[in-house]
Structure 1
Amino acid sequence: MSVNNRRYDIDWLRVIAIWLLLIYHIAIGFQPWGLLIGFIQNDQSMPSLWVPMTMLNVWRIPLLFFVSGMGVFFALRKRSWKQLLIERTKRILVPFLFGMVAIVPIHVLLIMKYYEQPVSYVANAGHLWFLGNIFSYVLLLLPLFYFLKKHEDGRLSNVIKKIFGSPFGFLIAIALMVAEALIVKPIPFELYAQTLHGYVLGFLAFFLGFCFVYSGSYFWDKVLHWRWIFLAAGLGLYLYRYFESNMVAPNYLMATESCIWVFSAFGFAYKHLNKPSKALSYMSQAVYPVYIVHMAFLYGAYYLIFPLNLSVGLKLVLVILLTTVGCFLCYELIKRINFLRPLFGLKIETKQTHTTTEKALGV
């Protein structure tokens, strides 16, 4: 498990996936079913938004789980299992617990007030369910991952490298995702949050992400070489859903489409995004706190904008602007107050840390 250069494309994919999540959440308030899943809902919906939303929805969350598994591989190259566990506890578990009691209740309060329900304090995981899942995967798989690190030439290591360093790795990934969908039978497939389907699918994607990068360069060579094929296949399966199945295909096709979109995303990111930049330096730091606080600012924007007598298109633009500006202003405040930084997944900053980060990113 050699220490290689930083993979900026994976950092970018994490940033992009979180931003897709934020955009998706904004759009839910303009869907006729938004209230059914706990979102403040505008009186006039925008059904046309569902066309791109349903394309993204089958792969945006699985992509995050794949990337998270890969992140553990890269983190483990330079850490012992104890160091990794401490680092992940600080970066994932602490923000998760803090968010449950201090951040999520804010948007729960706003929806209660908007619909004139009795106001009460409700601590729950909410949109931070993803962090709870990731931390549990680290706990469950860290013994195996550390064993593979310590026995790179062992039998199990060679089996994993042989399987995932060949075309069979792609087929096995798809087969596992299909098997999960057939066994768990999620309805709908895209319902990941706090469900058995979301947990098992996330576990598989997290494990597969680790295995693909552990196996060497084969995965990256092939997603780069086959990226257009994956893109065409993903688009073909989506168009089948769109024209033949009213956006809802059988679960085995949804799982297959999900994997193919993910492979395509890795291929194009590896081709175009594997380089440092000032934008990445800023966004990679900002995106985690933004993810944690975005629902509070989103519901605040809903609360202010939805009652206004404006066109639905203008309301969408204003919600996007208010949410984005609010999130980034909050991040700018958080990063300047050292005792707040760990609560939002940021390291305590010192002058030396700042200089080291800049050098690592080549800026």
Structure 2
Amino acid sequence: MTRRHDIDALRALAFALLILYHWGMLYVGDWGWHIKSTHTADWLQIPMLVVNRWRMSLIFLISGISSAFLMARTGGFAFLGQRTWRLLLPLVFGMLVIVPVQPYVQGIQTGFVKPGFFDFLFRYYEFKPWPKGAFDGDTNGITWNHLWYLAYVWAFTVALVLVKPLLDSRPGLRVRAAFTGLRGWALLLIPAIPIAIETVTLQGHFEDTGDLVHDGYRDVLYFTMFLYGFWLARSGGVWDELARLRRRALVAALLLFPVYYGLGVALPDDAPGAQQLIWALRSVYIWWAIAAVLGWSKAYLDRPFPWLGWATEAVFPWYVLHQSLIVLLAYWLVPLRLPAGIEASAVLIGTVAGCWIGFAIIRRVPLLRPLFGMKFRPRETRPTASTLRIAEPANELA
């Protein structure tokens, strides 16, 4: 079986969208973040919500796809060992070295931290709780901020290895066959049902803490998407069906979003069943949007683009670096009171340039590579597009 170029391309594009989303958080009105520009706009909430509802679910689904390919190559516990090294080392390094600028900047905004980054680091590395409200993760003394995804993927990897015997049992294989055998509107509706049930029953009981242990709703939702990806990975027929349904899924998602969003605005919060109805419709929207993305990707991205090898290798370092660069650039630029267009362009261009330069250095320094999720040494030779096979990706971010 030839390599699925569309999965590699989709992984790179999904994380590029994540970078743009975090850049947008600087400017969207009435949403809290580590630092906010003086040029915020409430109208940005709508396009941000269009993406927000499915962006991380898509990334976890891609993670499940990659996990299926990797596990088939290495086996369960060897796979877990590789993933532990490639996920937890960058997570710990990132928390200690890359992320601290974010709580530092946020702490200055909230007034709990005084200017002086090295003084902040001495206090930060004590790993003691900060005053409540100092920054995101203050009660733990240290935070992983945007790197929370790595902790969740590792936890899902452990869970996948543990439940693999059940998935490979006769009932488990029947469930998988039923899922990958869905066609037509059944493929667009049935996978949304577990998402809706999880949302209606769990979301109201859990805040989005991002701390894994107390994040019950997102734990269940994202593991479901991770499992969907694991099942979808090697099932060619369902991918062909997603490609066939791509227009239908896209139109359905675009029509459903204003309906569920409008109901959220119009219905009183205390109306009986209103919240549950909105959550259910949102769940269907999430799956339709993801189905559309997967279908269009299969139809148009399954080819060896010249940029694909570079992008596949760059994804992990760019992911680790990008949010700290956005926050740091905003910290320098926002006080200058530049026009909105100039400031926003400077933050985005500076972030892209910083990630580009950072990756150019990281990929050439063997000791840095594993700290950013890359293999210790680059491959000696690169296979040509015609000889690529489904194998271990250049990095294991997804």
Alignment-derived partner of residue 133 in structure 2: none
Q: Which moved more, 1:114-123 or 1:297-306?
A: 114-123
2:147 corresponding residue in structure 1: 128
In structure 1, distance between residues paired with 2:175 and 2:338? 60
SS in structure 2 of the partner of residue 339 of structure 1:
coil
What residue is the counterpart of 1:17 in the other structure?
Answer: 14
1:171 deviation in Å? Answer: 3.5
Once the two structures are overlaid, the 10-residue window that deviates more, 115-124 or 200-209, is 115-124
Aligned to 2:42: 47
Matching residue within 250, 272, 275 for 2:303: 275
Unaligned runs of 5+ in 1: none
* Map of 1:301 onto structure 2: 329
Residue of structure 1 in register with 2:227 after alignment = 207
Instruction: Supply the distance in 2 between the matched residues of 1:246 and 1:307 (Cα, whole angstroms).
Output: 34
1:191-230 pair list within 5 angstroms: 191=208, 193-194=210-211, 195-214=215-234, 216-230=235-249
Check the 8 A contact 2:260/2:281 in 1, yes or no: no
Structure 2 CA distance for partners of 1:139 and 1:67, relative to 1, 3 Å: same
Residues in 2 aligned to 1:93 and 1:227: alpha-carbon distance in whole angstroms: 36
1:161 alignment partner in structure 2: 177
Percent identical residues: 26
Taking a change above 3 Å as real, the CA distance of residues 312 and 361 of structure 1, as seen in their structure-2 partners, is: farther
From 157, 171, 180, the equivalent of 2:198 is: 180
Instruction: Report the counterpart of residue 233 of structure 1 in structure 2.
Output: 252
> 2:25 maps to which residue?
28
Deviation per residue, 1:271-290 (Å, 9 max, x gap): 00011122111111111111
- What is the Cα-based RMSD across aligned positions, in Å? 2.6
Partner of 1:355: 382
Query: Deviation string for 1:45-70 (max 9, x for gaps)?
Result: 12232221111011111000111111
Indicate how the Cα distance of structure 1 residues 26 and 159 shifts in structure 2: closer, same or farther if over 3 A, else same: closer
Native 8 Å contact 1:104 1:123 kept in 2: no
> What residue identity is the alignment partner of 1:219?
V
CA distance in 1 between partners of 2:256 and 2:162 (Å): 37
Instruction: Kindly indicate whether the alpha-carbon contact (under 8 Å) linking 1:166 and 1:218 is maintained by their aligned counterparts in 2.
Output: no
* SS class of match (2:143): coil
Task: Select between 48-57 and 111-120 the one with higher mean Cα deviation.
Answer: 111-120
Query: Are 1:342 and 1:348, in contact at CA under 8 Å, matched by a contact in 2?
Result: yes
- Contact 2:181–2:238, Cα closer than 8 Å, also in 1: yes
Partner of 2:361: 333
Larger mean CA deviation between 204-213 and 332-341 belongs to 204-213
2:44 and 2:248 map into 1 onto residues whose CA distance is 27
User: How far apart in 1 are the matches of 2:99 and 2:88?
Assistant: 15
**Counterpart for residue 143 of structure 1:** 162
Sort the Cα spacing of 1:201 and 1:156 in 2 relative to 1 into closer, same or farther, 3 A. Answer: closer
Q: Secondary structure at the match of 1:326?
A: helix
The verdict on how the C-alpha distance between 1:86 and 1:103 changes in structure 2, with shifts beyond 3 A counting, is: same
- Asked whether the 8 Å contact 2:260–2:278 carries over to 1, the reply is no
Q: Name the residue aligned to 1:7.
A: 4
Q: Distance in 2 between matches of 1:188 and 1:256?
A: 20
Q: Alpha carbons of 1:137 and 1:357: their partners in 2 closer, same or farther (altered >3 Å)?
A: farther
Separation in structure 2 between the aligned mates of residue 272 and residue 177 of structure 1, nearest angstrom: 27
* Alpha-carbon distance change, 268 to 192 in structure 1, aligned in 2, over 3 angstroms: farther
CA contact (8 A) 1:114 1:303 kept: no
Once residues 357 and 204 of structure 1 are traced to their aligned partners in structure 2, the CA distance between those partners, rounded to angstroms, is 35
Q: Distance in 1 between matches of 2:182 and 2:242?
A: 12
Number of corresponding residues: 351
Specify the SS of the correspondent of 1:310: coil
Secondary structure of 1:78 counterpart: helix
> For structure 1, which segment, 105-114 or 266-275, has the greater mean C-alpha deviation from structure 2 after superposition?
105-114
Give the aligned residue type for 2:192: I
Q: CA deviation at 1:196?
A: 2.4
After superposition, the C-alpha distances for 1:339-358 in whole angstroms (9 at most, x for unaligned) are: 11001100122452x43487
The CA distance in 1 between the partners of 2:220 and 2:56, in whole Å, is 13
TM-score scaled by structure 2? 0.81
Match of 1:323 in 2: 351
Change (3 A) 1:51 1:350: closer
The gaps in structure 2 that reach 5 residues or longer are: 114-119, 125-140, 267-274, 390-398
Higher helix share: 1
